[in-house]
């Protein structure tokens, strides 16, 4: 188990580093999952209108899975405390959904209802695109061959609103997304 603490556009004092290592380390020890590595990034947002400028981002790497937590609070110590508590919840979810499921035999698969059409505000999207027409970040990823159930577990662990993957059965790209009204949606590539 290793923990790396860095600051983004801010110096990290020894006391802050030690506090973050202790809190996040204790959260990781609770679940006893090996191998488990953590990257902790601390930053303070400069926007004076933001009531919670201290941000603690934690990224955990374990056996092919990534678990990500991001929390904002009024001061950095409080942000670390809240992030540490959320790390325990995410690790518990990982342990019950991934590890314990592997120990049991393959059971039911989760089906996603994609019959409801999504409402799309084209005018609103066009205005946003015109206002922000530059690519701010490019990220290269590998599309893992997964089942729908495995993709659902990954989207929960990452805490993202969407997750792209390659369907294990069809070898086509699918995008799983979190719906505003609850539940999930699935965009499937058309087979030719």
pLDDT in tens, the chain (192 residues): 788 898 988 889 999 999 999 988 888 777 667 767 889 999 998 888 888 889 999 998 887 788 898 999 998 999 999 998 888 888 888 777 765 666 664 554 444 454 554 455 555 545 554 554 566 677 777 778 888 888 888 888 887 888 888 888 888 888 888 888 888 888 888 877
**In the chain, where does the domain assigned CATH 3.30.160.100 lie?**
2-103
Tokens of 189: 């590539």
Helix (H) or strand (E) holding 145: strand 145-146
Q: Among 130, 174, 128, 124, which Cα is nearest to 154's?
A: 174
Domain 126-188, CATH number (from 3.30.1300.10, 3.30.505.50, 1.10.3720.10, 3.20.20.150)? 3.30.505.50
* Rounded (10°) angle between helices 76-94 and 148-158: 160
Q: Residue 110: its pLDDT value, please?
A: 46
In the numeric block, which tokens belong to residue 42? 């601390």
CB 179 within 8 A of CB 162: no
Q: What is the CATH number of domain 2-103?
A: 3.30.160.100
- Taking 3-state DSSP, the helix, strand and coil percentages for the chain, each rounded to the nearest 5, stand at 35, 25, 40
DSSP reduced 3-state for 162: strand
- Domain(s) of CATH 3.30.505.50: residues in the chain: 126-188
> Which DSSP letter does residue 107 get?
-
Are the C-beta atoms of 28 and 49 separated by less than 8 Å?
Answer: no
By CB atoms closer than 10 A (0-12, 13-18, 19+), residue 7 is middle
Residues pairing with 67 in the sheet = 60
Give the DSSP letter of residue 190: P
């Amino acid at each position: 188990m290793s923990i790396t603490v860095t600051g983004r556009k801010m110096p990290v004092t020894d006391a802050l580093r030690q506090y973050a290592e202790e809190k996040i380390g204790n959260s990781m020890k609770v679940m006893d999952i090996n191998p488990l590595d953590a990257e902790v990034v601390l930053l303070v947002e400069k926007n004076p209108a933001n009531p919670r400028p201290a941000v603690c981002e934690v990224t955990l790497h374990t056996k092919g899975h990534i678990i990500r937590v991001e929390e904002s609070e009024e001061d950095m110590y409080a942000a670390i405390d809240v992030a540490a508590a959320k790390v325990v919840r995410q690790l518990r979810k990982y342990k019950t959904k991934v590890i314990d499921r592997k120990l049991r035999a393959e059971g039911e698969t989760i089906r996603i209802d994609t019959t409801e059409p999504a409402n799309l505000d084209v005018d609103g999207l066009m205005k946003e695109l015109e206002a922000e027409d530059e690519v701010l970040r490019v990220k290269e990823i590998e599309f893992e061959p997964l089942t729908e159930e495995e993709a659902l577990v990954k989207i929960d662990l990452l805490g993202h609103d969407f997750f792209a993957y390659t369907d294990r059965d069809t070898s086509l790209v699918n995008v799983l997304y979190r719906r505003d009204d609850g539940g999930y949606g699935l965009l499937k590539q058309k087979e030719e």
